Amino acid sequence: MIADGQHDRPPWTGHGVVHGWLELIRPPNLFTVPGDVLAGASLARIGADEVYLIVPVLFISLFLYISGLLLNDYRDRETDRMERPGRPIPSGRVQPQAALAASMVLMGLALFLACLADGMRIFPHRMTDWILLTDWMPPVFPHRIFGITLGLVALIVLYHGPGRMVPGLGFIIMGLCRGCNVLLGAGLGKGPLSGLVLAGAAAEALYIAAVSAIAAHETTAQPSARECFLLLASLSGLALIMLITGASVLKIGCVLFIWIWVFLIVRPQKRQRGQGDRQVPVMVGKLIRSLILIQAGLIVLAMDHGVGSGAGSYGFFFLIVLLFLFPLSGWAGQRFYGS
């Protein structure tokens, strides 16, 4: 897996150790994580009384994402030793047990923050009672942030176990992780399982599953026609949301722009001399970073629907955040692994 501007790095210096950890967590991809939460919150019509909880939920999402990346490189350390000896763990810049321990600690922190976020949402004015477990269980079991976080932990563990043994299952699990990440943000809103939320989560899940299938063939010059079709078909979820919320010139333009952007990334290209082995990893990096545009599109599609309920008010702020993250992700993609 090679980033857009990957170069050889000195493996045994202090700088090499720090850079090794950065390679493990893939900074270009980290910029794509907050948008899942923001898109889910917008689709679920988040209100003023829940918007402050976005910060802990963003940390939950980032902790789980990084945990999965660390566990992935730990699990692949022997394969990388043979095929990619320059990776941080095979090169000795990061010790495998340190990567595993960091992954477990981040999972634990994510679950703790999920408990805290649910408590703050259920008993915003009685945090002391919640922490002391007095009057802890409300009439309706509402601990959805913790439940979704626990589900994400289970998916991460499943991916690095049975998910590696069944052909195609790993792609599905990767997609489900992204879809659940959207649900994580939606758990803060007033309609956490609305049709809009489910359509947005499904669109991201199918998109990432298709990208994962393309990434599995990094030595080929181009993805197959079927993989490209599945990738572009996943964007039909955006059109579905547009139909639910009502079409407009802005929404139609937004959906078309995203579709054309992704199509231009995966369109057949001539194989350049000396670049054949790098074309697919570079393409995958671009497709992952394009997820920020899809998240922005989901927010735009939700804004009209959420007028007066919070999504319209906060949607502009969420868009500004994503438009700031998108170029940062491209900049990081020139320096670190992105696939």
pLDDT in tens, 62-74: 999 999 999 999 9
Classified as helix, coil or strand, 171 is helix
| 163: pLDDT strictly greater than 90 | no
> 224 phi and psi, to 5 degrees?
-70, 160
Structural contact between residues 94 and 24, judged by C-beta atoms closer than 8 angstroms: yes
Structural contact between residues 183 and 36, judged by C-beta atoms closer than 8 angstroms: no
- Give the number of other CB atoms < 10 A from CB of residue 260: 10
Q: Which one has a higher pLDDT value, 139 or 226?
A: 226
Q: What is the pLDDT of residue 13?
A: 41
Return the closest-CA partner of residue 156 out of 180, 173, 168. Answer: 173
- Token match 């290209």: residue? 269
Model confidence pLDDT, tens digit, residues 258-277: 999 999 998 866 555 444 45
Return the closest-CA partner of residue 227 out of 265, 191, 260. Answer: 265
Structural contact between residues 49 and 191, judged by C-beta atoms closer than 8 angstroms: no
**Tokens found for residue 310:** 């919070």
The answer for 92, left when phi > 0, alpha when psi is -120 to 50, beta otherwise, is: left
Q: What is the pLDDT of residue 297?
A: 94
DSSP one-letter code for 140: S
Q: Which one has a higher pLDDT value, 274 or 19?
A: 19
Instruction: Name the pTM for this structure.
Output: 0.84
Structural contact between residues 88 and 95, judged by C-beta atoms closer than 8 angstroms: no
pLDDT mean over 45-54: 83
One DSSP character per residue, 172-225 reads HHHHHHHHHHHHHHHTTSS-TT-HHHHHHHHHHHHHHHHHHHHHTTTTSSS--H
pLDDT category at 210 given cuts 50, 70, 90 is very high
Euclidean distance between CA atoms 59 and 236, whole angstroms:
30
One DSSP character per residue, 233-272 reads HHTHHHHHHHHHH---HHHHHHHHHHHHHHHHHHS--PPP
Rounded to 10 degrees, the C-alpha dihedral 320/323/324/327 comes to -170
